[in-house]
């Protein structure tokens, strides 16, 4: 047989492609369930990290998540709940991704840590080289940060990547004020020399100006999206407080 004839080459490549396609399809579909479990677990770990619960084994993470997260929800930009998640927090907001976020479907996780209510909200933005995202835990007062976790796809190791690797940097966000008196987000990341108001401004990562600007923009944009939700929550708690007062 002439191995260099066109017929042979075309037949050869067709057979090769079909064989490889079937092989890859088989591998991909048989490993999919195990991969999905890993992706979900990784997300849970990131949410726990925002709540300052870190360095747990896989199993502990799953247990802690089920314990700490009361429920997840999907809200729209008006702060209205459009999908209510069940207990355990992996049925509504948990399934959303950055595309949903951009389309205005926002995830919220209602959590309880040491008897206190916390909200965890995801934020997505752009760093220097690619997407960055974070989970921010907000205190019951809806205006101060309880904990923050950031992650990235491809920021420079040792510089921009510090937003993920440096726990010390993420801890700088604890206790910062999110919204100003006019209700707009005031939380920002700035160069250390430019930080004026320590209650709402965080030192940037040294040597990673553009990534830090990305984080700053992401927080500004993200908390603007969640503005209605948190404004609504505050008036609700106030209403509840007032109601309690009357009963007494």
Binding site for another protein (CB under 8 A): 3-4, 8-9, 12-13, 16-17, 20, 23-24, 27-28, 31, 34-35, 38-39, 41-42, 153-154, 157-158
Give the residue with the Cβ less far from another protein, 27 or 239: 27
Give the residue with the Cβ less far from another protein, 149 or 230: 149
Minimum Å gap between C-beta 226 and another protein is 27
Give the residue with the Cβ less far from another protein, 40 or 95: 40
Minimum Å gap between C-beta 172 and another protein is 19
By the 8 A CB rule, do 120 and 108 touch?
Answer: yes
Give the residue with the Cβ less far from another protein, 71 or 164: 164
Strand partners, 69: 111
State the helix-helix crossing angle for 209-225 and 227-247, rounded to 10 degrees: 50
Minimum Å gap between C-beta 89 and another protein is 20
The number of helices, as runs of H, and strands, as runs of E, in the chain is: 7, 8
Give the residue with the Cβ less far from another protein, 22 or 78: 22
At CB < 8 A and 24+ separation, what contacts does 172-175 make? 172/202, 172/203, 173/136, 173/145, 173/147, 173/148, 173/202, 174/52, 174/145, 174/146, 174/147, 174/148, 175/144, 175/145
Task: Give the burial string for 175-193 (b: 16+ CB within 10 Å, else e).
Answer: ebbbbeeeeebbbbbbeee
Give the residue with the Cβ less far from another protein, 186 or 205: 205
Residue with token string 């490549």: 13
**Cα radius of gyration (the chain):** 23
Minimum Å gap between C-beta 16 and another protein is 6
Please give the order of strands across the beta sheet that includes 131-138: 81-87, 69-75, 106-113, 116-126, 131-138, 145-152
How far apart are the C-alpha atoms of 208 and 210, rounded to whole Å? 6
Give the residue with the Cβ less far from another protein, 12 or 183: 12
Minimum Å gap between C-beta 124 and another protein is 17
Minimum Å gap between C-beta 192 and another protein is 18
Minimum Å gap between C-beta 143 and another protein is 33
């Amino acid at each position: 047989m002439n191995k260099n004839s066109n017929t042979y080459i075309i037949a050869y490549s067709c057979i090769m492609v079909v064989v490889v396609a079937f092989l890859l399809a088989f591998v991909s579909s048989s490993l999919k369930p195990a991969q999905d479990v890993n992706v979900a677990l990784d997300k849970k770990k990131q949410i726990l990290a925002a709540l300052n619960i870190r360095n747990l084994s896989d199993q502990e993470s799953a247990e802690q998540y089920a314990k700490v997260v009361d429920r997840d929800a999907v809200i729209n930009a008006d702060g209205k709940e459009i999908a209510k998640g069940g207990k355990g927090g992996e049925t509504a907001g948990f399934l959303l991704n950055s595309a949903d976020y951009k389309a205005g479907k926002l995830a919220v996780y209602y959590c309880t840590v040491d008897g206190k209510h916390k909200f965890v909200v995801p934020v997505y933005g752009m760093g220097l080289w690619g997407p960055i995202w974070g989970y921010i835990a907000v205190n019951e007062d809806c205006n101060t940060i309880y904990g923050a976790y950031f992650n990235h796809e491809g920021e420079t190791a040792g510089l921009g990547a510090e937003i993920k690797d440096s726990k010390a940097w993420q801890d700088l966000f604890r206790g910062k004020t999110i919204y100003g008196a006019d209700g707009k987000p005031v939380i920002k990341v700035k160069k250390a020399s430019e930080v004026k108001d320590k209650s709402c401004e965080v030192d940037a990562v040294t040597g990673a100006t553009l990534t830090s600007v990305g984080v700053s923009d992401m927080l500004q944009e993200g908390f603007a999206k969640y503005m209605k939700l948190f404004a609504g929550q505050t008036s609700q708690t106030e209403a509840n407080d007032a109601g309690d007062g009357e009963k007494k």
